[in-house]
Amino acid sequence: DEEELLSTMRIVISASFTLLCIQLLYPCVSATPPDASNLDVSYTFNKYVVDFDKSYDDNNEGEYQKRKDIFDNRMIEILRHNEAYFSEEDVMNRPGYFMNANHLMDLEISEIPKGFDKSLSPGWAANQQQITTSMTRDLLSPTASTEEKYKYEKKLPFECNDISTLPKEVDWRKKELSVITPPKDQGGCGACWAFGSVTALETQIAIKTHKLHVLSEEEPISCAKNPDQCGGTGGCQGAIAETAYEYISTYGIHTNENTPYEARTDKSVCPKQEPKPQLRGLVDDKSPAVYTMKGFAVLPANDEKCLMNAVAKHGSVAIAVDASHFNFYGGGIMDTPNGKNIDIDHLVVLEGYGTDDGVDYWLVRNSWGPNWGENGYIRIKRSQDCGYDTTPLNALHCKYKPDGNINPVHPVKVCGIAGVLYHSVIPIV
């Protein structure tokens, strides 16, 4: 009858609507990857692909299998590490941090985004030999000379007082007035040098002006000149914090809203000429929210006391690190010893320090997104153990002198776990 027909239609419509909803929602829904303590061999590559919304080239039959093989090897590494971390046995040798699944698990090590040009290694490797701190500082200058420095390099705006005079804990995220922007993701562009330097500048501007802005990494990536090839050839192929700060000190910088991140070099965003000195630091009505800085200061190499003073008294610090053990960090305090060889390959931001269960640590912000590590952060054990970076050219060293001749390459002394103490730069506004 008519009522039975209407009832049947309602069921069909309801079922069709449900199916439509599933079809519409499924592509947008990602499952939550398992907690590190529950991660085991049941977590398959197919689940990973869904969880992290991965897709591969359909025209390349070997791509899927290649990524699966990489993932399988990463799982072995993570599970082996976590077995030691979560074990109730051999507590004395238990690592201080655990690993977890993340969006980097299907990448080759060379594909993991950093920002110093590794293509220059190992051809420019130096022979192991002793080197003084003053020699290290000279190598970081694009001129490799103490007589010729950056135009905007300044003296430290604070005294490096004894550590006992400093706060026991510093965390710039906890300030009543927010001075920290959310964690960012540099994607596949090797632009850690821009992300680290701009992030530290955002905090410094917020401290000084009480206004927090998300600034443009795209501008230094696309526009900052790097003729001496310090840390790389520029753009997504690497540079150093000083490169970014020289550019911003000269031209200023827009907000990310005005000049959004493209993960590539785009010369169309670059200023046509150097602004007049009287306009530096002001808001330009024709170009919204232009900010600038007076310059920057470089901390003494491998100096824990000065680094603690910097983050406690001044604010966020752009620091160079060896991120070779960062890849699958999930939480805890990174305590992997350096060994004799350290390879500085990444720029991050120091935003504090503290102590957890008797272990002193540095609070460091990465540029691999908010889902990496501890909501985009990593804690690194404070240590003054040292080693040597024998390939400084692919990190902070400049390939050329101003006269066009190639700089000599020497190994550099690097201290702190992950090389945290080696090279630090602060923006001055």
State the angle between helix axes of 192-209 and 241-251 in degrees (0 to 180), rounded to the nearest 10. Answer: 50
- Phi and psi for 321 in degrees, rounded to 5? -140, 165
Closest CA to 328 of 76, 138, 157: 76
Contact of 190 with 236, CB cutoff 8 Å: yes
Q: Which residue has 């912000």 as its token pair?
A: 365
The whole-angstrom separation of Cα 50 and Cα 38 is 18
Q: Which of 226, 366, 394, 407 is catalytic?
A: 366
Q: Is 189 exposed, middle or buried (0-12, 13-18, 19+ CB in 10 A)?
A: buried
Instruction: Clarify whether 346 is annotated catalytic.
Output: yes
Contact of 412 with 150, CB cutoff 8 Å: no
The whole-angstrom separation of Cα 346 and Cα 92 is 30
Closest CA to 242 of 116, 364, 123: 116
Q: Which of 254, 314, 346, 397 is catalytic?
A: 346
Contact of 350 with 85, CB cutoff 8 Å: no
Instruction: Clarify whether 192 is annotated catalytic.
Output: yes
The whole-angstrom separation of Cα 133 and Cα 170 is 28
Closest CA to 377 of 348, 336, 343, 419: 348
Instruction: Clarify whether 366 is annotated catalytic.
Output: yes
Q: Which of 82, 100, 189, 192 is catalytic?
A: 192
Q: Which segments of 89-161 are extended strands (E)? A: 97-99
What burial letters (b/e) apply to 299-331, b meaning 16+ CB within 10 Å?
bebbbbebbbbbbbbbbbbbbbbbbbbbbbbbb
The whole-angstrom separation of Cα 292 and Cα 228 is 24
| Phi-psi sector, 281: left (phi>0), alpha (psi -120 to 50), beta | left
Active site members: 192, 346, 366
